[in-house]
Structure 1
């Protein structure tokens, strides 16, 4: 769809009736996933476009440029534009309207970025990695445990642009939560940035708690009676998924500390204090992931040790039975050499005596091995 088509869709959203229609849809489906082809009420990559003044929604007439001009004239509001996986053509007009830096635009379109915080003049560009726990009946060597996505945020004095990638992480609940606290939203676009950061980090903690259940299950299986038979692929798969979670959570620590401690023009000082709480939660999630990683290493080492012990026990049993079988083999081998002059060849009780000696020797060996734990 062309940029002109997108802006016409935004114009329809800007009417009062359009806003009421989208608001009603959001109330009916609070956790709607907007990642499918019909992801947007506007029929394009634009998910929502709303103007706020003094923390309250205001009716917007005209195109997106008209909404931006209105809030800039009033000097006391901002526009929040939300998009999902826009193409280069769809985003080009928006980038020109808000004077977004080409490097940030390129990162937004291509995605697959690390969590980061960058400043381009008066615009702040932030990248968040979203995570989602993938439900599964049983953890196997191929189970997907963690799914990741991305949220890019452009922040200026009078606008907030959010671009989402992935099949989860809908910002509808964030928007509803912010609109229920107009005093917080009145502090400007930085309230949107804090709401998104808080939402993303809270999801980190939820996913970490869910992963811990898988960790407990694997640990219980490994240290069970037949733990040596546990498929090590399950442990490796959980470790791989934990690594993906770590790549999403850990790099976000530095950007959050910058938002909490360093003065930034587009971030309200009162909002800045709230980022400290978000940074604390992110640090907690990072520490739990590091602890999980160490625990998985210990579980894997314990499993390998169990396998080694089980193999040693099997070898001892095989060796013990081989020693027992060697006795009749030796006796029978001696008497099978067909020499003419051999002891007890003509004795009537020679055969029963040979069987008795073999049985007694085997019984003594069996009891000795059993007493020493070899059998």
Structure 2
């Protein structure tokens, strides 16, 4: 598929939580979905049922959607995908856009099956790229033919360390992925922005360029950080580049250790925190529960507690941590005073492990990732 050239470096980089629930939706939380705004583009991470409605209620624009990254094929993370494609297709036809979908083995079969048996008419082109492990079978993994709007996607095989490097890469951003432990094959995605041109003081450079008789077009090269020699022999050094922003968005997991090498020093880590031990605060907490028993129960279902999330964030040196994917036991804090107290305590417990303040996500919350320096 043809990718249009773009440069989002230094542009606003925002995450908007469209769904923060675990398993099933609740009156205050939708199933999992997160929108990432890169300049004018939108990339979606997971797409649970109801994502289309959440999209329309948010500030995100369907016409700007370009990519969907799926962490795994559990229904609460994927069942909203085809309805999203239906809604997106109408806007995409008029704008000439295409969609790229990334996910683990089985994503392509899922999309084709739902489109075929629901007789869905997707008019705009799309491709499904699958992240394959070394143990996965090769080939298409589905006997169903390509949908009439489907462009053949790539089979992206992991390296010997089990990591997927350069799942997507252009001049401004790279997406890598790594496995995380859950009850089914599950991945996390790490986005790295290319180095950002440093700030330049034009008052320092313009007079020198003019006095030497050189073209002002040299300012473009200087702004990019290059060393330029003027006609009079003067050497001008461009400003050093600043490191780009880095974001890690993880799927469901009870242990994210396998992806830790990719997550080092990320600016933002989004990590699930399905359960917590909240004696005296959570009315559903059993008297026989302990920190250890709640963590063991969470692990048995493939999920993390807030302590696990905080500890992983500290381990990889994340600058900021946002907790996501909460049990139906934990409604949005706007529901009532107890709900607000519960979410505040979940954040506090995670912050004790992390060593910094922790944010607990809620539907439609937007967080902007700031540039360093």
Same fold (TM over 0.5): no
Structure with greater helix percent: 1
Structure with greater strand percent: 2
Structure of greater relative contact order (alpha carbons < 8 Å, 6+ residues apart): 2
- Give the TM-score band, short-chain normalised: under 0.3
